[in-house]
Amino acid sequence: MRQLRGIPAGHGPRVVAIGGGHGLASTLKALRRVTDNLTAVVGVSDDGGSSGRLRQEFSVLPPGDLRMALDALCGDDTWGRTWSRVVQHRFGGTGDLNGHSLGNLLIMSLWEETGDVVAGLDWVAALLGAQGRVLPVSLTPLEIVADVAGLDDQRPDAVATVRGQVAVATTHGVVRAIRVDPDEPSACPEALDAIAEADMIVLGPGSWFTSVIAPLLVEELAQAVAESPAKRVVVLNLVAQKGETTGFTAADYISALTGHIPGFTADAVVADPRSVADPAGLAQRCADELGAELVVRPVAAPHGRDTHDPDLLAAAFAEISGRDRIAPWR
C-alpha cells in the first residue's frame, strides 16, 4: 500500500497535546479553536474493552485512545460529523463483533495493510479529514503497574501491586506510585520530532495517573518535553476521579506529577475556580514545584462540573499562547 507523504502542516502555532481518553479529546477539541497545526501524542496502555481484546489477540497497540483522538480532530462539516459517528460506532449482537468499535477495526485494518503504525494512523486521519495528526507515545504496548495501599482492610497501610490500566483506574485503594512495563520503552520517533518542533505542549486533563502521567514515564518522551523550548501547559481536572484519584485536591495533582517526573517544569497551570479551594496556596505550589503561573479561568462546561467546555478552554489556551483571536471550529 502506498505510503502517505505526511500530514500537511497548518500555519498556526505548533501545539502538541499529550494524554489519552476523554481528557485528551477535550483538549484537542479546544485546541482546534486555537491552531490548525496540532499533534496528539497518545498513551498506549489501555487494556479494557475492544482495545484490550484486540491488543491481546493481535499483539498490537490498543487503538481505542488513538481512535478517540482522531474523532476529536474530525471537522465540523458533514464529512467530519459523519465520520465521527462512524469511527465511534460500536457493534451489538451476540457474536465476536459485540462491543467492538468500528474505528478500532479500521485502524487495525490500516496497520495490517501498511505494515506501519504511524502510516496507518495517517491514512485514517486522511480518510476522516482530521485537522491534525495522531501519534502513539510508543510503538510498544505498555502495561501500567501501580503500588496501591488500602486494599486490605486488616492492613490499611500495606501496599499491593496492581497491574493493568483498567484495574488501576478503578481501584478502591490509594495509588501511591505507577510505572510502566516494559520499564524502558522507546518513544515513537515522530512524536519526539513533533515535541522538538512544538511552540506549546499541553498535558491534561484526564485520568491523572493512567492517562496524564503514564506517557511521561516513557523516558525518551519525558526528556524531549524537558528539552523542548515550547511553552508547557498543565490542565488540572475539574473533579477527582472515583478510583485512582479519589479525594484529590487541585494541589494533589501537582504533587503526583512532580513526584513521578522529577524536575518537570511548566509555564502555566490551568484550573477552574470551582475546583480550587485555596487559590493563593495553589499558586504558590505551582510556582514552587513547577515554576509555573496559575491561570484560574472558568473552563468547566455549564451543564456540569466534570467536563471542560471547548470554547472556554480554548480561550485559556489562546491567552497563554498569546493568540489574539480564536480560530473557528472547522
Q: How confident is the model at residue 302 (pLDDT cuts 50, 70, 90)?
A: confident
Is 125 a domain residue?
yes
Does residue 208 belong to any structural domain of this protein? no
Same domain, 86 and 163: no
Cell matching residue 213: 502521567
**Per the structure, how many domains does the chain have?**
2
pLDDT at residue number 178: 97
pTM of this structure: 0.94
Give the dihedral sign, CA 98/102/104/105. Answer: positive
Q: Is residue 120 part of a domain?
A: yes
Residues 118 and 149 in one domain: no
Can you give the residue range of the structural domain that contains 79? 45-136
pLDDT at 3: 56
Residue at 78 is within a domain? yes
Cell of 37: 497545526
Same domain, 119 and 172: no
Average of per-residue pLDDT across 170-192: 96
- Count of Cβ atoms closer than 10 Å to residue 82 Cβ: 13
User: What is the C-alpha to C-alpha distance for residues 315 and 320, in angstroms, rounded to an integer?
Assistant: 9
Beta bridge partners of 38: 15
79 with 98, same domain?
yes
Tell whether 59 is covered by a domain. Answer: yes
Q: Cis bond leading into 215, ω under 30°?
A: no
Q: Please check whether residue 14 lies inside any domain of the structure.
A: no
- pLDDT tens across 77-131, in order? 899 889 999 999 999 988 888 888 999 999 999 999 999 999 999 999 999 999 9
